C-alpha cells in the first residue's frame, strides 16, 4: 500500500466518521430542525461525484469512504425529513 493510499484512507476515515455524531444526535433527539437540507443534498451529490471519480480511476480509498459517506448522508436526510418538525 502506498503512502498516498494510506493518506486517502486516513482522510476518508476522519471525514466520514465526522458525519456519524450528527446522525446519532438526530435519531436520539428526534429533531432535525437545525439541519440544513441544502447542505446535505449538496454533500450527497458531491459524494456521488467523488464515488464515480474513484470508480473510474480505481481509487479504493475514494470508493470506500464515499460509499460509506453516502449511506450516512442518506441517513441524515431520512432523519431530516422524518424529524424536521419535531422538537
Mean pLDDT within 9-15: 92
Q: Among all chains, which residue has been given the C-alpha cell 453516502?
A: 70
Q: Angle, nearest 10°, between helix axes 60-83 and 20-29?
A: 20
- Residue 87 scores a pLDDT above 80: no
Alpha-carbon gap, residue 45 to 69, rounded angstroms:
11
- Residue 4 scores a pLDDT above 90: no
Mean pLDDT within 2-12: 89
Residue range 16-40, pLDDT digits in tens: 999 999 999 999 999 988 888 999 9
Residue range 30-84, pLDDT digits in tens: 998 888 899 999 999 999 999 999 999 999 889 999 999 999 999 999 999 999 8
SS3 labels along the chain: CCHHHHHHHHHHHHHHHCCHHHHHHHHHHCCCCCCCHHHHHHHHHHHHHHHHHHHHHCCHHHHHHHHHHHHHHHHHHHHHHHHCCCC
Pick the CATH number of 3-83 from 3.20.20.70, 1.20.1280.290, 3.40.50.1220, 1.10.760.10: 1.20.1280.290
- Residue 85 scores a pLDDT above 60: yes
Amino acid at each position: 500500500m502506498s503512502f498516498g493510499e494510506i493518506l486517502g484512507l486516513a482522510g476518508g476515515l476522519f471525514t466520514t466518521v465526522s458525519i456519524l455524531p450528527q446522525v446519532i444526535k438526530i435519531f436520539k433527539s428526534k429533531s432535525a430542525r437545525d439541519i440544513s437540507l441544502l447542505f446535505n443534498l449538496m454533500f450527497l451529490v458531491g459524494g456521488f461525484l467523488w464515488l464515480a471519480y474513484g470508480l473510474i480511476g480505481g481509487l479504493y480509498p475514494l470508493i470506500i469512504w464515499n460509499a460509506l459517506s453516502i449511506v450516512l448522508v442518506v441517513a441524515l436526510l431520512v432523519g431530516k425529513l422524518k424529524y424536521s418538525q419535531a422538537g
